[in-house]
């Protein structure tokens, strides 16, 4: 664990959560792709469970 100066701490707190937005963006892309795959790749050709 790196010891931060008070200035660095204040900067870390004030900084926008860019990493969080990036993670959520990646997550959203995977969710949409996954959903599209399930709908067009699985559900439409497959139909109801049998």
Give the separation between CA 18 and CA 8, rounded to whole angstroms. 17
Question: CB 23 → another protein: shortest distance, Å?
Answer: 6
Residues within the interface to another protein (CB under 8 A): 1-4, 9, 12-13, 15, 17-20, 22-24, 27, 30-31, 34-35, 38-39, 42-43, 46-50
3-state secondary structure of 21: helix
Residue 26 CA, distance from chain mean position: 4
């Amino acid at each position: 664990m790196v010891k931060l100066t008070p200035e660095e701490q204040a900067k870390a707190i004030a900084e926008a959560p860019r990493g969080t937005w990036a993670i959520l963006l990646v997550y959203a892309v995977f969710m949409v792709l996954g959903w599209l795959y399930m709908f067009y790749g699985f559900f439409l050709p497959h139909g109801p469970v049998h």
